[in-house]
Structure 1
Amino acid sequence: MAAPGSSPAFDGMYSQLIDDDAAEEDVRRRPGVGHVQPVSPVGLTSRPYRLATICLAALCAILLISIIAVSAHYKNKPQGSSEVAPEIQKMTQDGNVSSLAATIKKLQEEKNQLQKENAKLLARLAATKAPEVVKTSPPVVCPKDWHFFNNSCYLISRGSRDWQESQSYCRSKGAHLAIIHTAEEQTFLWDLLPRGHWNSFWFGITDAQTEDQWKWVDGTPLVGGFWEVGEPNNHINEDCGYIVKTNVLERVAIRSWYDAPCSMDLPYICEKEMGASTAVPQ
């Protein structure tokens, strides 16, 4: 029986050796021969060589089977799946480690740079959020006999002049006849005026240019006002406005304006805008 996986050549060699031994034994035991013929020395000597030949053939067969099996194993293995030699693996690993180390170093440098830029940005942000130093202006000080209200100084005169002369005097002091826009300002000035039989004071309003079109001394038109009931009435060509404060307690600040001829001599009220940063020594 042929060994599994053996070639026809080795099978023939093995069969021939078996047949030769059988023929020799047959000759020795052939019928009709009265005695067993002695075996020739040549036959006795060649038997060990035939046994060695048989063993050699078997080893060759085993080797051939191993070669075929290994060839079949590598033939059936997918393309490109062969194992990398240890040296190549080591070289590849060393290269990967070097590349990874270089990448880590680069990332560390970028991190340090970003940290520096972040610190600069935080410093700028802190500077923008720093509390602003408020420059305090010196307090507004009005000249002697002037009274401060809402960034303006007011003078209640002791002498009397007509409306135009009163305006000229105020200008000589860097001021003008008072311009009154709010009830608070009107009440403040009213409280400064003394009571009397008919105490009246010029302030900065006139309709001398166009009748019934009242304007302030800065040229702006009057809006609203604090006229007494029935005023202004232009009774005798009355083109200038004044404030009246009497002994009648029922009179109130917000109804105290009258019109009168601009030629009358009356006390007056001057106003000087100071501003928050202006200081005027007494």
Structure 2
Amino acid sequence: MLLKSSSLLLYKNKPQSGAEVTSDVQKQTQDANVSALTATILKLQQEKNKLQKEKDELVARLAATKAPDVIKPTTKPAPVPVTCPSDWHLFNNSCYFISTISRDWSGSQAFCQTQGGHLAIIHTAEEQTFVWNLLSRGHWNAYWFGITDEHTEDQWKWVDGTPLVGGFWEVGEPNNHIDEDCGYIVKTRVLERVAIRSWYDAPCSMFWRFICEKEMNATTAP
């Protein structure tokens, strides 16, 4: 029994070889490195969490103090001003031409159509006054415009087919004195004559000067 105990004690106290010592040192070093790396990772994670928290707080403050977005109105292209050809006169969105030649009513309408328009259609006192002011005074200066009752007597219609409402007839007109189915405007030297009482009817075969009109659509600048 004593022999066995001595042998066991001798074994346990047996000095380690150089390889075994080196292995233990390496293991301890590795353990220390792992511990240091773990501590570094933990520290970085904590710093990341802190930065994320600060970022979230800043975003929240910015959202609380930021003024509401101003909705900018949709920018539309500016319309190009309406212009009239040479010798035509602008009123609202229409151009008017006062002829210096004389034709019958249908010939006058045909000429206006070749210019891209028609005999003038006049709906308002302002339009009537504008056109009348373009006319020259004379003994009996007469100008065809775009009204007729040649299809049905006393049912005056414009050249676009719409019926006349109201009008600016002279007192006693229209009177269909001698089969007078077309309308014209008169401007004389009599200063008391006014624009809103200057329409007459006459036979469509008579030769007068005339008034053309063409509507102009405002174009849009690119």
Same fold per TM (> 0.5)? yes
State the distance in 1 between where 2:84 and 2:160 align.
22
2:152 aligned residue: 210
Asked if 1 retains the 8 angstrom alpha-carbon contact of 2:140 and 2:186, the reply is yes
Picking from 93, 96, 115, the partner of 1:151 is 93
For 2:209, what is the secondary structure of its paired residue?
coil
Question: Is residue 199 of structure 2 the alignment partner of residue 257 of structure 1?
Answer: yes
Structure 1 pair 224–278 and aligned structure 2 pair: CA distance change class (3 A): farther
Give SS of 1:167's match.
helix
- AA aligned opposite 2:133: D
Shift of 1:116: 6.4
Where does structure 1 differ by over 3 angstroms across 4 or more consecutive aligned residues? Answer: 115-119
Higher helix content, 1 or 2: 1
Q: Does the aligned pair in 2 maintain the 1:140–1:278 contact within 8 Å?
A: no
Measure how far apart 1:118 and its partner are: 11
Name the CA shift for 1:140/1:259 in 2 (closer, same or farther; >3 Å): same
1:273 aligns with 2:215: yes
Distance 1:240 1:159 in 2: 18
Structure 2 equivalent of residue 103 of structure 1 = none
One-letter code aligned to 1:236? I
**Which residue of the partner structure matches residue 187 of structure 2?**
245
Residues 107-256 of structure 1 correspond to what in structure 2 (within 5 A)?
122-123=68-69, 126=70, 128=71, 130-256=72-198
> Structure 1 residues 133, 256: closer, same or farther in 2, change over 3 A?
same
Q: Normalised by the size of structure 1, how large is the TM-score?
A: 0.55
Q: Distance in 1 between matches of 2:135 and 2:159?
A: 21
* Cα-to-partner distance string for 1:111-141 (whole Å, 9 max, x where unaligned): x68x86997x944xx2x3x144242222211
- The answer as to whether partners of 2:78 and 2:220 remain within 8 angstroms in 1 is no
**CA distance, structure 2, for counterparts of residue 209 and residue 247 of structure 1:** 34
TM value normalised by structure 2: 0.69
Mark the structure with the bigger radius of gyration: 1
Query: What value does the CA root-mean-square deviation take over the aligned residues?
Result: 2.7
Tell me which of the two structures has the higher relative contact order, counting C-alpha pairs closer than 8 angstroms and 6 or more residues apart: 2
Q: Number of aligned residue pairs: give it.
A: 169
